[in-house]
């Protein structure tokens, strides 16, 4: 498949730069695969479209305040994006700007907060950075105090500006069920942003059950395909942890499985493809997902999903296309048809945008 097949035209005004005033007041496009039909509603209407009791699987990863603004000794600005911790203490894999000027051995920091040194650089732009924190706290704790959430560039927020409302995005670019002890995501699992505590309580009262897992979302999840041939794309690896009760629910047939977002589905699918036969581990299962789901494959791990509207030429479009039309090459065209309708109906796209329920 040529990656150009994943192109579509999106008017600039349809890119959401702020979320809905109330999380579950976002729009919800409901697509029924069996009848090939669409309905339009609000996310708060979700319960009425679930005609049976579902097991919900959601990614409870919390978002790192991963973007650090610092300076070199010369006074030049530096931007450091935390990606993942290394095994060695206080060393992290990061993305740096300006990358070319930050050579191995270069130092940067924030006065009285931290200093850092570039120890290694990779051809793909990543770097290994060692942090020195006078207070003795962890890099994550330090970033919680001075960092900002790594908003995608299309949101067009000047996060360096003194007027930037750090607290707003810290709150809204995070799910209400994120576990603060699992602050491991370099980007939000955005399909979950639409849930409110009240909506979750309502769904539980109706007999739906929620199960958590943790996928360490990397920025590669949202990046577009770089080559012309979809099948030649190499996926980045993302660590995931799945608790015992979530694994048990994945194997059970007592209720259909609903994946809240592509990040949850990525972990679910990777686990079940590696472990097709039911088993019950004594401890949470931990693994790394490098799985690339593209047509014509089939999803084994879910019967329904909630997802946002994704960027052109993204691996996420490939995944949703597989879900729409299993074992077929027609899913991408169906997805673009749905997107055309969503644009006509003025749905908002991308991370802070509206949602789609696929049944």
State CA 248 to chain mean position distance.
24
Phi, psi of 333 (to 5 degrees): -65, -40
Of the residues 100, 129, 147, which one is the last residue of a structural domain? 147
Check which CATH number belongs to the domain holding 240 and give it. 3.40.1780.10
Interatomic CA distance for residues 262 and 237, integer angstroms:
15
Phi, psi of 182 (to 5 degrees): -120, 55
Interatomic CA distance for residues 125 and 54, integer angstroms:
42
Q: Are residues 58 and 112 in the same domain?
A: no
User: Residue 168: is its pLDDT beyond 80?
Assistant: yes
User: Residue 222: is its pLDDT beyond 70?
Assistant: no
Q: How confident is the model at residue 226 (pLDDT cuts 50, 70, 90)?
A: confident
Contact of 243 with 212, CB cutoff 8 Å: yes
Per-residue b/e over 112-138, b at no fewer than 16 CB within 10 Å? Answer: eebbbbbeebeeeebbbbbbebeeeee
Q: Which residues contact 271 (CB under 8 A, 6 or more apart)?
A: 240, 242, 247, 250, 285, 287, 301
Domain membership of residue 153 (yes or no) is: no
Domains: count for the chain: 2
Domain membership of residue 158 (yes or no) is: no
pLDDT in tens, 62-86: 999 999 999 998 999 999 999 989 9
Interatomic CA distance for residues 143 and 166, integer angstroms:
13
Domain membership of residue 167 (yes or no) is: no
Phi, psi of 332 (to 5 degrees): -65, -40
User: Residue 50: is its pLDDT beyond 80?
Assistant: yes
234 forms beta bridges with none
Contact of 264 with 213, CB cutoff 8 Å: yes
pLDDT for residue 221: 66
In the chain, what is the straight-line distance between the N-terminal and C-terminal CA atoms, in Å? 26
Question: What torsion do the CA atoms of 13, 18, 23, 27 make, to the nearest 10 degrees?
Answer: 0
pLDDT in tens, 124-133: 889 999 999 9
Q: Are residues 42 and 74 in the same domain?
A: no
Q: Are residues 33 and 84 in the same domain?
A: no
Residue position matching structure tokens 């970033």: 143
| Residue 202 belongs to domain spanning | 3-63+174-358
Domain membership of residue 154 (yes or no) is: no
Q: Are residues 209 and 334 in the same domain?
A: yes
Q: Are residues 106 and 194 in the same domain?
A: no
Contact of 271 with 59, CB cutoff 8 Å: no
Give alpha helix (H) positions in the chain.
46-49, 139-146, 166-172, 197-205, 244-251, 262-274, 315-324, 331-344
Q: Which residues contact 295 (CB under 8 A, 6 or more apart)?
A: 1, 318, 321, 322, 325, 328, 329, 330, 331, 332
pLDDT for residue 20: 97
DSSP secondary structure, 195-242, as one string: --HHHHHHHHHTT-EEEEEEE---GGGGSBP-SSBGGGPPPPPEEEEE
Of the residues 77, 112, 147, which one is the last residue of a structural domain? 147
pLDDT for residue 254: 87
Domain membership of residue 304 (yes or no) is: yes
Domain membership of residue 202 (yes or no) is: yes
Q: Are residues 27 and 95 in the same domain?
A: no
Phi, psi of 110 (to 5 degrees): -125, 125
Of the residues 147, 163, 191, which one is the last residue of a structural domain? 147
Q: Are residues 51 and 84 in the same domain?
A: no
Task: Find the mean pLDDT for residues 242-258.
Answer: 95
132-139: list long-range contacts, CB under 8 Å, 24+ apart: 132/90, 133/90, 138/90, 139/82, 139/85, 139/90, 139/92
Q: Are residues 94 and 40 in the same domain?
A: no
Check which CATH number belongs to the domain holding 75 and give it. 2.40.10.240
pTM of the model: 0.94
Interatomic CA distance for residues 280 and 304, integer angstroms:
24
Task: Find the mean pLDDT for residues 103-129.
Answer: 94
Q: Are residues 319 and 264 in the same domain?
A: yes
Q: Are residues 233 and 100 in the same domain?
A: no
Domain membership of residue 160 (yes or no) is: no
Helix 315-324 vs helix 262-274: angle between axes, to the nearest 10 degrees? 70
Q: Are residues 99 and 239 in the same domain?
A: no
Residue position matching structure tokens 């973007």: 67
Q: Are residues 38 and 83 in the same domain?
A: no
pLDDT for residue 194: 98
């Amino acid at each position: 498949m040529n990656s150009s097949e994943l192109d579509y035209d999106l008017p600039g005004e349809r890119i959401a730069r702020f979320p809905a005033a109330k999380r579950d007041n976002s729009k919800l496009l409901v697509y029924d695969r069996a009848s090939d039909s669409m309905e339009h509603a609000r996310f708060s209407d979700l319960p009425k479209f679930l005609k049976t009791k579902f097991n919900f699987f959601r990614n409870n990863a919390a978002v790192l305040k991963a973007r650090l603004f610092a300076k070199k000794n010369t006074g030049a600005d530096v931007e450091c994006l935390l990606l993942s911790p290394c095994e060695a203490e206080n060393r992290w894999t990061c993305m740096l700007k300006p990358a070319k000027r930050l050579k191995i051995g270069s130092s940067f920091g924030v006065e009285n907060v931290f200093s850092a040194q570039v120890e290694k650089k990779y051809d793909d732009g990543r770097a290994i950075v060692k942090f020195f924190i006078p207070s003795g706290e962890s890099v994550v704790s330090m970033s919680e105090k001075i960092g900002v959430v790594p908003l995608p560039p299309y949101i067009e927020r000047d996060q360096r500006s003194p007027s930037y409302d750090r607290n707003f995005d810290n709150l809204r670019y995070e799910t209400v069920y994120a576990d603060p002890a699992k602050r491991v995501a370099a980007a939000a699992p955005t399909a979950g942003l639409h849930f409110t505590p009240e909506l979750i309580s309502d769904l539980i009262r109706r007999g739906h059950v929620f199960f958590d897992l943790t996928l360490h979302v990397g920025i590669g999840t949202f990046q577009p395909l770089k080559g012309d041939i979809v099948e030649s794309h190499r996926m980045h690896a993302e660590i995931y942890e799945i608790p015992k009760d979530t694994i048990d629910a994945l194997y059970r047939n007592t209720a259909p499985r609903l994946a809240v977002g592509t990040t949850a589905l990525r972990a679910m699918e990777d686990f079940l493809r590696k472990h097709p036969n039911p088993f019950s581990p004594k401890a949470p299962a931990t693994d790394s997902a490098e799985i690339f789901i593209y047509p014509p494959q089939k999803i084994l791990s879910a019967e329904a999903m909630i997802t946002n509207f994704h960027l052109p030429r993204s691996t996420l479009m490939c995944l949703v296309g597989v879900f729409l039309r299993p074992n077929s090459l027609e899913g991408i065209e169906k997805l673009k048809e749905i997107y055309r309708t969503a644009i006509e109906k003025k749905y908002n796209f991308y991370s802070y945008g509206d949602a789609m329920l696929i049944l």
